[in-house]
Structure 1
Amino acid sequence: MLKLMRDNLKNLKWILWFVVFIFVLLIFVDWGAGRGRGRGMEGLAAKVGGVAITEAQFLRELRSTEERYRQQYGEQWEQLRQQVDLAAMTLQNMIDREILLRHAARMGFRVEDEELLKRIVSFPGLQREDGSFVGEELYTRILRANQTTPEAFEEALRRDMLLEKLEQALLGGIVIPDAEVEREYRRRNEKASFDVLFVGSNMAMNRVTASEAEARAYYDSHQDEFTHGEQRRLLYLLVDNLKLRRTLTVPESQIVEYYTTHQNEFQTSEEVRARHILIRPATQGEQGWRDAQTRLREVAQRAMAPGADFAALARQYSEDEGSKASGGDLGWFGRGRMVKEFEDAVFALQVGQVSGPVKSQFGYHLIKLEERRPAGVEPLEQVRDRVRDRVAEGLADAEGSRRAAALREKIEAAKLSTDEQWRSLADDVVTSNVTPYFAAGEPIPGVGRDPELLAEVAAAKEGAVGGPRRTPRGWIVYRVSQIRKAGTTPFEEAKQEAEEGAKRQKAVALLRQELEGRRANLMSAPFSTVAPLVGGTANTVTDHTRGSAIPGVGVAQALEEAVFATPIGGLTPVVAVGDRGVAVAKVTAKTVFNAQEFARDKETVRKSLVQAELDRLLAALLAEAKREDPPTVNQELLNRFKNRAG
């Protein structure tokens, strides 16, 4: 490779930047390699499909990882260090990397020397001020000053590039439909505050009965409840991410730091704001188009006259029903948002200028450019809230991990094994939850479908404790509370359960009827005064987002939909929450879907969904690879670091 680089250097401007880059990449320098650990694992940290991860490589990567976290968390790191198993996490990352490299090779990917050269000479730290390569001599000196060689550095870089190719191949198969993007945008941005009253079905169970015929009907119509493979039920403690974020304060220094180090996230392309008047052809024949052009030219004469009110003319003449009422205002948009003919015309205009007739597939347009916003970086003041949310998300994730680890430690130290003992650990941020029964391979209700977690739970015995695990709602610690064997339960054996199910249905129907009868009282009185009268519980919910648990109710999509469909100050219908009970909400505030903001953020949301799907695909790939060929880990080596952490 060095033979391809024959140039010289007098000075170097980016050495410090490049030193940091090299520090992250290196995994080949020894750091006090330990002694042999276990039969066949002397000097090794792990074996992955015939590839050995040496103890020296592991120790070097462990030091590098710890240094990165120390720089990221500063003084907080010493406290956080005691809450995480950094050695196990580091080795797991190295194992995952080897598995993915092997998969990339199987798919036929490789990095040619020319590609590698192009990447190396693109680093600012290896360029002169005029952009040319610094030369072989200084290149070698820089690497050796950082305790590596050109050969080792290039091999590490080649591996990184190979993983990039694998990632790009997976990304090529990921398509996120617009409807899914909108659902996710709504989930993230639509918020509602409301008072909620929940009445459990148990409040009416002693007032209803179920005959054997009703029990049989319930059994027949709910076969999925009685026919099943082996199923599990989890009790889990959730460090609720949304609740945790409300307790965190984001320092201004971290907002500024994130903004300055993530400038690429806030880059904007050139945008314009324009108005238009559209005249559609009455027919698709030549005459129809000629008539439309003639009518637009008549309007154009008036629009180009001194002092003309373009917006008023648009309201009077435009045939674009989507923008007519707003005076033809199309809002801000960038390139690629409009049809090509329209785009070419509008971006060629000067601010305040009106175009001549522009023909598109929709008809003839008259366009006025109102404003132009050049490409650049959004100012911090405009994106401060977004930056704060992203920093808070990172802080909450780290704090959630720490709290979940502390919960696991407390559970193990006190040998907490009953549901009551686990529920006692709940607080303002930690919630206690029980899943319905679910089968192997199915998403865990309320938790998600992380392949590694599903595999872990499927292999766990009754009473096993797991976690901490990251989920979309926050970090969890779980216990397999019950395992139900596979099979179809005969009606005679399931009769009591079927009777209970039929009674719950009747109890929910009765409670809905009774609460609807109190509608006037519910509208006028605080729920806190109504709750004791009906045996329910009242809660005030602030900034609820779609898909999150509702305090006192849990995840309840029907209630959620009712809340977002009800105007501020209104009362939702009484909604059944499965067979657990009924709920009604009084809406106090809402942040609703904003079409313009969605158009602005649509592609950012899509990218995040693509990334989430990529992460899921990689996790599934890793889980399957480990199932087919489990890696061998030097557990004695890891235990040594657990003892050291202490």
Structure 2
Amino acid sequence: MVMEKLHGASTSWASKFLFGFITVTFVISSMAGYLYTRVDNSAAKVNGEEISQHTFQNQYNAASRNLSPQDADSPAQITQLKTQILASLINQELLRQYANDLKLGVSDDRVKQEIVTTPSFQNNGKFDNTLYQQMLQSNGISAETYAGYVREALRLEQLQNALAATMFSVPVQQEALEKLFFQRRQVRFAKLSLLDEIEKQSVTDEEIQAYYEAHKAEFTFPEQVKVQYLDLSGANMEKNMNVTDVEIAQYYQDNKAQFTTQGQQHLAHIQVKTEQQAQDLYHQLQQGAVFEALAKNHSIDPTSSEKGGDLSWVSAGEFPAVFEEAANALEVGKYSQPIKVDGNYHIILVKERKPAKVLPLDEVKAEIAAQIRQNLMGNQFFSIEKRVADKAFEDASSLKAAADEAGVKVQETGYFSRKDVPSELNYPNVTSAIFDSDLSQGGSNSEPMSVGEQHSLVVRVLDHKPQSTRSFEDMKGEIAATLKHQKAEAIVLAQADKFVQDLTAGKIVDGLNFGEAQTWVFAETKDPVLGDVIFSMKKPADGSVTYNAAKNAEGGVVIVALDSVEDGKLTASEKKQFAAQIEQTDRISLQNSLLNALRAKAKIEINDTFINQEQ
């Protein structure tokens, strides 16, 4: 039923093997509030739906920690990273909206099943509600909020599965990729010394000064601060609230529907394109034909046809209303007359049914207690927050009075810059207050700043260090070494190119010694810099050798001698594993085709002021 809509989203579903792609992931994050006024609190908007600055900032911070020190100081690398993160979040939102358009639904029971079977909530193979509640409290979210995250993840999983069902593999393509990816090249290396050439180089003060001026940004220490802060978290403060058995029992009675599992049906179906086909199959069933056999031979639903039309256990809301109404009207073991759903015709079989079930109080007692505490904190949190704000204003010399009012401890950081804000403080409104407001000068406390659901921070700056630049004298020796290396590398590379020309012409190069032969496999290359050169070299004719100059990952210069090339070959088991890898890559390619189509139709607005600000 979903397949036709998926095919209509893009004009081309040709699967191509992509060497680079953006993986779209489901991101769990809370929405941050802002006490400091901003014109636009979003990082971007997709068809009017906001992607929060907090979500973007979390993704940026996580990714930037993996950058090398050199890349972290490179404006080009930072811009590229921001672009990738923003594209990923926009793609995620496009898929979420598309899942809405397809009316993909996930029942409450399916969400509960996903939660209770999550490995991190398991203890000795069983769901442990204590572990679940600890996760909710540590993240400062409610059970309903987390269930919403899980529901979204499952809806996107449905969409991914639907995409996978549209794919097909081409044996010729796999064979060609197998030959390339597992190609074996026998090579030898002759290393040229950079050290000797570096020692011969000299640089002038003028050259060093010019380099210093051109790269001054690399020698700059960023602005830094040291702060104290209060972490006002409802999830933490509610732990001290007492809940009685009477309150738990009353909540259970008042909200029994919340603890009632939906009834389920075990369904199967046969899906065909035309009413005539459906009627023919219906008559065959009436004459004694086996439902499963007809589904395998005639159903066009690729997901269920191989299983005899089996749709497994389903709950209300997972299928279109007309489909569910027809199933609900059937007795167990009976099949329906053909019905039209989303342009196709279906015959539905009810195999089994499970009635709704009320969970016993003992089984949900801990969950109810946690919910009651959360409700109580919801009523009290803003009152506590206001009292803390008053104390922070009345005594601006420290945070002690405000901390005592909230019953929390004053916490203190070391020095940090905008690029390495501690995760506990890394929210756009908080970092802006610390670095861009009068707080940066010290001597005052902030108001409570909302950073999530029942979660606020109060900060004061203890010390502030302005941006500074390392002096020319401090950097002189380091710059001289860099310039000597650059000069030596240029000379040695030119020398290597001359050696390659001589070797290709059949000349003997004195003093050039090649090492033992090595076998390089494309899929196993550990030095991408050198590997790019090796696998781009022309295949040598029988009995001849191909030469090229290259740099390796360590920055050295080598001459590569390519002796032979052998196409990759795999065993039957390896072929199966490789086919699975190709399928995964094709799935991503197919998803990218869908995303391109969705992007073409979407209205996407980027908050350039926020995205381009210094992090």
Name the TM-score class by shorter chain.
Answer: 0.3 to 0.5
Q: Which TM-score applies when normalising by structure 2? A: 0.35
The structure with higher relative contact order (CA 8 Å, sep 6+) is 2
